Amino acid sequence: MVTACAGWAVAVPLPEQDSFYAEPAGLADLANGTVLAARTIEPQSFLQPLPAQAWQVQYKTIDNHGAPRAYIATVLVPHREWTGEGPRPLLSYQVAEDGVGSKCAPSYALRGGIDGGPSNAFSETGVIRLALEQGWALVVPDYQGPDSDLFGADGYVHGVLDGIRAARAFAPAAVDPVAPIGMWGYSGGAQATAIAAQAHSTYAPDLRVSGVALGGIVADLESTMSGFNGGIAGGAAVVGLAGLNRSYPEADVAQYLNESGREKLAASQADCLHDAALAYPFLDAAALEAWPGSITGNAELSTVVRMASPLFRPGAPAAPVLIHHAVGDQFAPVDGARALAGKYCAAGTPVQRVENSIGEHATEAVLGLPTALTYLADRFAAKPAPDTC
């Protein structure tokens, strides 16, 4: 049985080997969010069917480098009839893609693709199942785009918000034009969600966002990279540096690396976070430095890292926000989440901040689920948003 499942999963081609992902010409003059192509898929979670009709939708947007591109989003509509008040809500769920290879993309995971082993996206299909069980329609964007631009913040903004536009415009999904919209993500997915939500009112004011849920958020990317450093998943820093180098080539991140660092960078160009973490456990970033402090104490590199940090980017969400976080989070220190909540509060955004004294980064992904689901359900029901500011 295991052998059959594994063989079936491997048969799902990687995105770069799949003709559906090929980008058409003539994108520049199209409106952002325009649907370019679509196909029906059989959505999977841990190699088991998801209770939804689903499509992969290709849509036009703008990547992190300002170029018109064709991104992919998975649109899912539950089989169960919506029985709540008003039209069926639409939830944009951002997985923690956390990788620089197409195998890390949620569209690949949702077709049952596990080439090279399960990714963060593969593991988060369980959360997608829970959201579908609420009766909500979902759009799950490959917000890093066809080049897997990890930490490409402007690309995140466009990929997420234009993905919502595409889902609303995609006729087979039958999303009501006045349906409430929610945004949700955990860890790196919360980072992308926050970055997009902070730009929502300027980039996509046409979207009616009712609520935003952020769990275990990477608010300050630099502190998160420090949290990984030297620990059991220390090798993840290699994928992080690869993402920064790809998304911000003008920064020439490779110049700050020694020969060993450049070799690791070259070897990780298609890795998900867990690949490098397993390859280089307990890696100390200092072992990659071209000179002492070239990574760990470099003001120029810090400026680039801040470009992908919600805490240091302009704007605040126009919609109410939930921020739930484990106090003992070792990878996304709670001080960053607290500072982000303060930033949003100062801008007048209603924020509900929930801190869990039990657990750490991985456990909060599970323990915080009821809080996030309830929060979103209440926003979709137009209940008054709690405010702990």
Question: Model-level pTM?
Answer: 0.95
In a domain, 207, yes or no: yes
Q: Is residue 170 part of a domain?
A: yes
Dihedral sign computed on CA atoms, order 253, 257, 261, 262:
positive
Which pLDDT tens digit goes with each residue over 307-321?
Answer: 999 999 999 999 999
Q: Is 11's pLDDT higher than 90? A: no
Tokens 């929060």, residue located: 375
pLDDT number for residue 165: 98
Quick one: pLDDT at residue 183? 99
- The C-alpha torsion from 199 through 329 and 182 to 316, rounded to 10°, is -30
pLDDT at 8: 41
pLDDT above 70 for 10: no
**Residues 63, 134 within the same domain:** yes
- Indicate whether 30 and 44 sit together in one domain: yes
pLDDT confidence of residue 114: 86
Is the domain of 245 the same as that of 199?
no
Instruction: Specify whether 166 is located in the same domain as 63.
Output: yes
What is the CATH classification number for the domain harbouring 263? 1.10.260.130
Report if residue 45 sits inside a domain. Answer: yes
385 in any annotated domain: no
Question: So what's the pLDDT on residue 33?
Answer: 98
Domain assignment present for residue 388? The answer is no
Based on the fold, state whether residues 149 and 71 are members of the same structural domain: yes
Indicate the residue among 287, 307, 327 that finishes a domain: 307
pLDDT of residue 118: 80
Please indicate, yes or no, whether residues 68 and 166 belong to a single structural domain of this protein. Answer: yes
387 inside domain: no
CATH code for position 171: 3.40.50.1820
Rounded to whole angstroms, the Cα distance separating 61 from 212 reads 22
The number of helix segments (H) and strand segments (E) in the chain equals 14, 11
121 and 227 assigned to the same domain: no
> Mutual orientation of helices 221-228 and 299-307 as an angle, nearest 10°?
110
Q: Which tens digit of pLDDT belongs to each residue from 338-348?
A: 999 999 999 99
Query: Does the structure show a pLDDT above 50 at 6?
Result: no
Q: Are residues 237 and 364 in the same domain?
A: no
Provide the pLDDT confidence category of residue 115 given band limits of 50, 70 and 90: confident
- Which residue range forms the structural domain that includes residue 162? 2-220+313-380
- 3 pLDDT higher than 80: no
- On average, the pLDDT of the chain sits at 95
DSSP run (H or E) holding 48 = strand 48-49
Q: Is residue 46 part of a domain?
A: yes
Q: What is the mean pLDDT of residues 160-166?
A: 98
> Last residue of a domain, which of 307, 324, 350?
307
CB 349 within 8 A of CB 239: no
Same domain, 364 and 226: no
Tell me the mean pLDDT in the region 329-341: 97
- 5 pLDDT above the threshold of 50: no
Same domain, residue pair 230 and 339: no
- Residue 281 counted as domain residue: yes
Helix (H, G, I), strand (E, B) or coil at 371: helix
Instruction: Please check whether residues 203 and 167 belong to one and the same domain.
Output: yes
Element of type H or E holding 183: strand 181-186
> Which tens digits make up the pLDDT trace of 38-60?
999 999 999 899 999 999 999 99
**Secondary structure (DSSP) of 342-365:** HHHHHTT--EEEEEESS--HHHHH
Residue 109: in which H helix or E strand, if any? helix 106-109
- Looking at 290, 307, 324, the residue that finishes a domain is 307
Domain count, the chain: 2
Same domain? For 129 and 234 the reply is no
Question: What is the torsion angle, in degrees rounded to the nearest 10, for the CA atoms of residue 331, residue 201, residue 105 and residue 26?
Answer: -150
Model pLDDT, residue 290:
97
